[in-house]
Amino acid sequence: MHEETILWHLSNGMTFHGRTLIMTWIVMVVCIIFCLLGVRKLTSGKPGKMQNLLEFIVDLVDGIAQGNLGSAKARVMMPYLLSLITFIFFSNMFGLLPNFTFKVFSILGIEHGKLNEIFGGSSLMSPTADINTTLALALLTFCLIFIMGIRYKGVHYFKHFLEPTPVFALIHVIDLISKPMTLAFRLFGNIFAGEILLGVILMLPGFFVFAGSFMSAVWLAFSIFIGCIQSYVFTVLTTAYIAQAAVSEEH
Amino acid sequence: MGNPIAIDLTLPAQMLAFLILVWILAKFAWKPLLNMMEKRRTGIEESLAQAQAEREQAERIKREYQAEMQKARQEAQEVIARATKVSEDRAAEILAAAREEAEKVKRSAIADIEREKEKALADVRTQIVDLSVSVAERIIRQKLDVNVEAQLVNQFIQEVGDLPC
């Protein structure tokens, strides 16, 4: 079963989700290593394997961004969107990995920052299986909607809240708030549910572990698929929302 | 098991973490990569344009070469025509000169023949006269009666003298 949330307490009573933070940092390092491997031998000639992979991601995101935003705004958004899709993809994959530390922290009795508990489960945890992470990304999207809207439309951006009549302002506000909410909960729900089911399969008792191995493999494969789809969906929707705010309809 | 939807300070921490990630990746990975891809795109465009220009140039050179060839062939044709004409003229000239020369030779030959003929005739006439004179002498010497025969001799002389050459 999904473990009890591991909390880091500050002196003033504030808390952090230690497990989420540790996993996020590891994922960040993985992302950075992955990308740096890709650009290590950067060439405009024949690309290497890793560069090819990165260029595939760039082409994918470029297709999304160019189609929605147009090339000038797409150029501004590209680094953010690329980081977004890379980070979410690796995050989604992370919960599917077995616990490669082999509970070494528990064996050695290291309790600093509750590391023994953080690496105590049978598999790692996706940072995106925590609502805080997905909501953080969604709120950044929310901020970007405003920033890009004001940047490309100026004060005119706020006028659309009153269209076609001021009565619609409430609906516009609900629409605006629902965007990050749905983004956050969609991603969180997909990944969290995947981890729960994986945990449940791994908890099958005794003899059923062998039957569970097959189930686990099927569910892992499906989770990989879900993880890819969700990272893509998050990026596409972020682009679409920004395009809605930043691209004027007269065009 | 607690409520999985628990929002606390992790939220701002994650926002900050992600912004840092975006900054690092943008600076060290995406910017260089995007610039490189842009450079590659412009490079390909440039080489395409260059290839187009070069093909056009080659086309132009080919056309020029063909025109040159055409001109050269025409000139050669003209030279040949001119040479043929000159040689024909020359041949006609030579022929005419030869014919004239032949005519001249023929005329001089005829004149020579004429002269020789007259000379021969004159010789013959002289011999005849001599012969006649000798014959007459003999006749007169043998049986000429001066009175009777004198008329005969004169007549003979007259007749010889009237003989055509």
Cα–chain-centroid distance for residue A58?
A: 17
Q: Is residue A2 part of a domain?
A: no
Tell me if B10 and A133 make a contact (CB, 8 A cut-off): yes
Amino acid, single-letter form, for residue B104 = K
> Which of chain B's residues have a Cβ under 8 Å away from the Cβ of A80?
22, 26
What would the mean pLDDT of B64-68 be, rounded to a whole number? 96
Domain of A57, in residue numbers: 7-246
Exposed, middle or buried, A176 (CB in 10 Å: 0-12/13-18/19+)?
middle
Mean per-residue pLDDT of chain A: 86
Q: What is the pLDDT of residues A196-220, one digit of tens each?
A: 888 888 887 767 767 778 888 889 9
Q: Which residue has the tokens 């002289």?
A: B126
Instruction: For residue B22, give the nearest of A42, A58, A79 by CB distance.
Output: A79
Q: Of A99, A144, A155, A87, which Cα lies nearest the Cα of A123? A: A99
Neighbours of A118 (CB within 10 A): 21
Tell me if A36 and B29 make a contact (CB, 8 A cut-off): yes
Instruction: For residue A16, give the nearest of B8, B24, B29 by CB distance.
Output: B8
For chain B, the straight-line distance linking the first and the last C-alpha, in angstroms and rounded, comes to: 173
Considering just the CA atoms, what is the radius of gyration of chain B in Å?
A: 64
Contacts of A188 (CB under 8 A, 6+ apart): A128, A129, A130, A131, A133, A134, A135, B5
Tell me if B2 and A5 make a contact (CB, 8 A cut-off): yes
pLDDT above 50 (res A1): no
Alpha carbon separation from A205 to A24, A41, A210, A212, A213 (Å, rounded): 31, 49, 10, 9, 12
Split into its structural domains, chain A has a count of 1
Q: What is the pLDDT of residues A15-73, one digit of tens each?
A: 888 888 989 999 999 999 999 998 888 877 788 888 889 999 999 999 999 988 888 88
Tell me if B17 and A14 make a contact (CB, 8 A cut-off): no
Q: Is residue A251 part of a domain?
A: no
Domain limits of chain B? 28-162
Tell me if A43 and B36 make a contact (CB, 8 A cut-off): yes
DSSP-derived secondary structure for A141-205 = HHHHHHHHHHHHHTTHHHHGGG-S-GGGHHHHHHHHHHHHHHHHHHHHHHHHHHHHHHHHHHT--
For testing contact with chain B, the best of A1, A2, A3, A5 (most B CBs within 10 A): A5
Contacts of A75 (CB under 8 A, 6+ apart): B34
What would the mean pLDDT of B31-38 be, rounded to a whole number? 90
Does this model's pTM top 0.80? My answer is no
d(CA B11, CA B6): 10
Q: Is residue A15 part of a domain?
A: yes
Higher pLDDT, B101 or A120: B101
Tell me if B14 and A20 make a contact (CB, 8 A cut-off): yes
For testing contact with chain A, the best of B18, B20, B34, B38 (most A CBs within 10 A): B18
Q: What is the pLDDT of residues A129-172, one digit of tens each?
A: 989 999 999 999 999 998 988 888 888 888 777 777 888 888 88
Q: Which residue has the tokens 């958004």?
A: A77
For testing contact with chain A, the best of B1, B33, B41, B45 (most A CBs within 10 A): B33
> Which of chain A's residues have a Cβ under 8 Å away from the Cβ of B13?
16, 21, 132
Tell me if B11 and A136 make a contact (CB, 8 A cut-off): yes
Cα–chain-centroid distance for residue A147?
A: 21
- DSSP assignment letter at A5: P
pLDDT above 90 (res B6): no
